[in-house]
Structure 1
Amino acid sequence: MTTGGQWSRRSLLRGAAAVAGAAAATPFLGGVATALGGGADALFKAGKFEEAGRAYEEILKTDPTNVHAARQRGYVGLLANKFADAEKYLRTALDLAPGDKEAHKFLADCYLRQDKLALSVPHWQAIGEESYAKWFSAVSGEPYQIHGDIGRVQFQKLDPMPQVEASVNGGPPKRFTFYTGAPCLGLTSTLAKQAGLKPVASQEIDYEGGRIWAYYGVLDSFKIGGLELRNVPVGWSSTESGEDVDNDHDGMIGTWVFYHLLTTFDYANRALVLRRPTPEAVKSATAGAKPLPLWLADDHYLHSLGSVAGSGTRVVGTNFGGSGEMAAVLFGDTADRLGVRTDLGRPLETSAHSTPTVVYPCYPKELRVGGAVAKEIYCESHPTADTAGLGFDVPAAFFQCFWKPYSVTLDFTGMNLYVRT
């Protein structure tokens, strides 16, 4: 990820709403790569991950010292939570190039997803993430211990951000929002103090022209509905004077929590449902729905397959929770290239990764992910989106307003997304 991506991850620890994240939650790499023709990199950038993986393997058969091919083959495995593959090839890349920061980043994420936090530490250190290294060094025992089988909570409200009730360390119910554009479980500084949390690591970071402090710690208990997580890594932030950065909620639930569970965003019935991830639970939660592939990039960015205004089936960002009135954000030249009606006379000023940016209202004829469809719905075009991205083309990211008529279940074991229509 670029520096902007690192900022996104840190800034959302504070529990900030996602209007800023919505503008650039999934980086865009403009245009399908053509420099390498039909090669492995072109396949990868086009989102043909399995084919790219096989192509990288062929490269390694003839050139076993090819660091790039080994790293990319490991990345392909990581996107699909195929941890054995990811570890094998990323370790090969680091054996060949011990200082390769991208390989270190991928391997840190690989261990993070498996709760092998101690093994992730040297890789965070290798990429200069000292706060993360200290944080995960301080977690003793098994993180994210699941107690109970299901936690179902109704939305207390849906707009401008979804809100549910949950408790920390046995305390009274608190107002939590959620957003998959955020990584860990985030608390306000006030709630962190009430819960008796002590930071095990901290850092001062830039935020909207000022400075805030980000803190990292470990929460004993997080209970939502009938399900409890214990020994949970958490983050919180405060201004330089010690005040909350945001106070319209008490915390934000991010993707790290969701990928430990079978997660259902049941917008149709205004509920968040978290289940212990068992085969029986998957069968029950997804009956009648067809699986779509699910990919996880850069520790919390979710992707699946969808289409925008006749683009054909492409890899698209899939975001749940957060705020904003748009159903999707179209990146780079997507709107122009696909002939999407765009109101260039109504620029909207927002921010992406704490950097001012401008987006424009646009209205694609159709958005589609599986059986979920929206026509002529309000979206936003972000023509100057970061093109460094995640290494593969993403024409658009879908947001909460698109999903409101549906129930969506994320299975991070089988790496499938299910939409019930």
Structure 2
Amino acid sequence: MANNGKWDRRSLFRGAAVLAGTAATAPLFSGAATALTGSNDADALFKAGKFEQAGRAYEEILKTDPTNLHAARRRGYVALLANRFPDAEKYLTMALNLAPDDKETNYYLGDCYIRQDKLAQSAPHWQAAGEDGYAKWFAAVRGEAYQIHGDTARLEFKQMDPIPLVEASVNGGPTKRFTFYTGAPNLNMRASVAKEAGLSPVASQKIEYENSTIWAYYGILDSFKLGGIELRNVPVGWSSTESGQDVDTDSDGLIGTWVFYHLLTTFDYAGRQLILRRRTPETARKARAAANRTGAKPLPLWLAREQYLHSTGSFAGATGSRTGVVGVNLGGTSEITAGMRGETAEQLGIRSDYDRQIGTFGSSHPAVVYPCYPKEIRLGNAVAKEVYCYTNPNQPINVPWPYGTGFDTMGWFSHCFWKPHNITLDFTDMNLYIARGKAT
């Protein structure tokens, strides 16, 4: 969080999440990734997104060198990407025993525990990672967080563009219009909505944002009702200007990844609805069966840095195509079908219009991007050809911790790509299913 009145990448994004919806899946930092210690082979596999092979390679290192901090921490991170919590805890604890004050290890352990709703257990690790606000926030949660009541909800999109909107009730009050975005972490809402709901902050911070000052607040919401599903005891954030006014009025709030990974969620763009189901073996089985009937094969799903979703996709241009790790940005505000790193566009010969620069803003940083038109982009059986995208020549394919994921990503799929499809996220088996047409 903020230190000495200054903000970091996460504090700003969390505090102003109600403003968000346009940020790229990884931060827009320039500069090459720094070299990592340990086995070159294991690190190369990790950076290339070959996480299973990388995990085995790090295990081999640890067999001969059990004091290798980098290998232990990275092996735990590989497990965390796939929500394999026992392995994540095992290896991250091994790393922590080697270096108790290591901020990166503590950060991953804090994330590992919040994914399992062990919020109080996560607090000391956030403190050790330098995330004081998170530590205070999660230490204040009493009882079970994200309690789920109800089994299924179907929420009609009240609006598709420029941002999708669905209706939800806060603390039993009248319905409000919330957007959603998997590039944002927690549930956020406007300050006026928080006040109406009777919320009190358990932590707060002052943030300098786009040449102005805002206050970010963090509290605990009693009830968040999404149609037939109600979540209780939910961590929530809100933001206001120094005078107490709302920061943004495009929506009443924003639903982030933390809400969605507690449920089996289908983003039914083609059917203009959000389908939420309780996560059980039975609902997961039904989702797999429905996907199989449409011919949709399970794609890998990886969760990095609290909220960033990834899978495997491909880009193609005049000089070739490449398959690799891509970001999955569902929801948010964007007129593009996909965004790509400058190196991706250049190496694949993707037609780019450098005469028409676009000033934009992503992950709390201004950026200059350019229109580009790949021959094809693909995620599973979902394909788009010659569609409008953009590329950022200054955006590297790999940004290390603490600002990025540490592995290579070619780009990300955005709002307009999803419109002909329905997409189901299964955070139990860590699979993504995408099928053309409305969800059944």
Compute the TM-score of the two structures, normalised by the length of structure 2.
0.91
- Between stretches 122-131 and 294-303, larger displacement belongs to 122-131
Partner of 1:357: 367
Partner of 1:214: 216
Instruction: State the secondary structure of the residue aligned to 2:148.
Output: strand
Instruction: State the secondary structure of the residue aligned to 1:417.
Output: strand
2:302 to 284, 295, 309: 295
Tell me how far 1:17 sits from its aligned partner. Answer: 3.4
Partner of 1:393: 408
Report whether the alignment pairs 1:406 with 2:413: no
Report whether the alignment pairs 1:416 with 2:426: no
- Kindly indicate whether the alpha-carbon contact (under 8 Å) linking 1:346 and 1:360 is maintained by their aligned counterparts in 2: yes
- Kindly indicate whether the alpha-carbon contact (under 8 Å) linking 1:29 and 1:391 is maintained by their aligned counterparts in 2: no
Structure-2 change in CA distance of 1:414 and 1:234 (3 Å): same
1:108 to 104, 107, 110: 110
User: Structure 2 CA distance, aligned partners of 1:113 and 1:23?
Assistant: 19
Structure 1 alignment gaps of length 5 or more: none
- Kindly indicate whether the alpha-carbon contact (under 8 Å) linking 1:148 and 1:227 is maintained by their aligned counterparts in 2: yes
Structure-2 change in CA distance of 1:73 and 1:127 (3 Å): same
- Between stretches 385-394 and 164-173, larger displacement belongs to 385-394
Partner of 2:312: 305
Partner of 2:4: none
**Cα-to-partner distance string for 1:77-135 (whole Å, 9 max, x where unaligned):** 00000000000000000100111111000000000100000110011101211111111
Partner of 2:13: 9
Structure-2 change in CA distance of 1:77 and 1:36 (3 Å): closer
Report whether the alignment pairs 1:334 with 2:379: no
User: Structure 1 CA distance, aligned partners of 2:252 and 2:41?
Assistant: 48
Instruction: State the secondary structure of the residue aligned to 1:115.
Output: coil
User: Structure 1 CA distance, aligned partners of 2:16 and 2:430?
Assistant: 24
**Cα-to-partner distance string for 1:13-58 (whole Å, 9 max, x where unaligned):** 3x11323x13856879969989989610000000000000000000
2:395 partner letter: A
User: Structure 2 CA distance, aligned partners of 1:392 and 1:336?
Assistant: 19
Structure-2 change in CA distance of 1:157 and 1:322 (3 Å): same
- Kindly indicate whether the alpha-carbon contact (under 8 Å) linking 1:26 and 1:301 is maintained by their aligned counterparts in 2: no
1:413 partner letter: T
Structure-2 change in CA distance of 1:170 and 1:227 (3 Å): same
Identity %: 64
Instruction: State the secondary structure of the residue aligned to 1:333.
Output: helix
- Kindly indicate whether the alpha-carbon contact (under 8 Å) linking 2:28 and 2:362 is maintained by their aligned counterparts in 1: no
* RMSD over equivalenced CA pairs, Å: 2.1
1:55 to 54, 57, 60: 57
- Kindly indicate whether the alpha-carbon contact (under 8 Å) linking 2:264 and 2:277 is maintained by their aligned counterparts in 1: yes
1:345 to 338, 344, 355: 355
1:151 to 142, 150, 153: 153
- Kindly indicate whether the alpha-carbon contact (under 8 Å) linking 1:30 and 1:333 is maintained by their aligned counterparts in 2: no
2:257 to 255, 258, 270: 255
1:379 partner letter: C
User: Structure 1 CA distance, aligned partners of 2:38 and 2:192?
Assistant: 52
2:193 to 172, 191, 194: 191
Tell me how far 1:248 sits from its aligned partner. Answer: 1.3
Q: Give the total of aligned pairs.
A: 418
Structure-2 change in CA distance of 1:246 and 1:34 (3 Å): closer
User: Structure 2 CA distance, aligned partners of 1:255 and 1:29?
Assistant: 28
User: Structure 1 CA distance, aligned partners of 2:35 and 2:344?
Assistant: 15
- Kindly indicate whether the alpha-carbon contact (under 8 Å) linking 1:180 and 1:254 is maintained by their aligned counterparts in 2: yes
Structure 2 alignment gaps of length 5 or more: 2-6
Tell me how far 1:10 sits from its aligned partner. Answer: 2.0
1:268 partner letter: A
Structure-2 change in CA distance of 1:188 and 1:370 (3 Å): same
2:20 partner letter: A
User: Structure 1 CA distance, aligned partners of 2:374 and 2:389?
Assistant: 7
Partner of 2:167: 165
User: Structure 2 CA distance, aligned partners of 1:272 and 1:258?
Assistant: 11
Structure-2 change in CA distance of 1:127 and 1:230 (3 Å): same
